Structure 1
């Protein structure tokens, strides 16, 4: 088992609302490393705790334990105000609620980036290299937000 801890990336980038996209990406990285990503990605285990089947009962107990660990990781990576708001929810419910609250920010960010990209132009005294790098960076940021610009349009915007 690896002793590498990635929890530090969540500590330095606690969710405060404005950083939802970065926080969620980092949360997924930590949960993948801890082998807990299924807790927020897959549906709830349907095994009953009162089942007579010992294997099903142990599976359910393990699932509950993993839910608790996941919940602790999620809550520890939030501001105190958000912790109080979500402390009584299960991990998938927390994620769903946060997406509703802050997930729309990526649309606003996408709009602002694309507006800046389409309005950008090189002035007479600008150097070509830094300008092209800036434009490529904007195009890559849009791609990360799910807005892929074709190769030809990218070239046209840069030119």
Structure 2
């Protein structure tokens, strides 16, 4: 155990006294919680999308809306499958000492999931507003979601880092 402590990868200034394995376990738990949040929302959206063809007004969709709908279904399924990938990988490498690598790969998968989910959210808003109001309003509404995503993904983290740097 002492040798394990000597190879700890925690930064000394972060207040944690954890080994590489302990850090991997903690990071894995945090990633799984993030995936759980993502999966719930995406599964609800996928369920919503899968019911649409069985609605009477679905036949009123124009060709663009049909294509957009199919793209949204593919995105929803992609996000769901990617969000399940780390669990599958964990099962396949369980007890093989690959947790640090699993955490690294899963973190990248989560970023891809978030990007695809962002496209899914913007697309669903565009799809609904297009159908309920007009294609122009749909594009504007979808664009507004893209702007919001940019604020959350780019501006938010920069603001947090700047606050951290000011506090240090």
* TM-score, with structure 2 as normaliser: 0.31
Point out the structure with the larger helix share.
2
* TM-score, with structure 1 as normaliser: 0.33
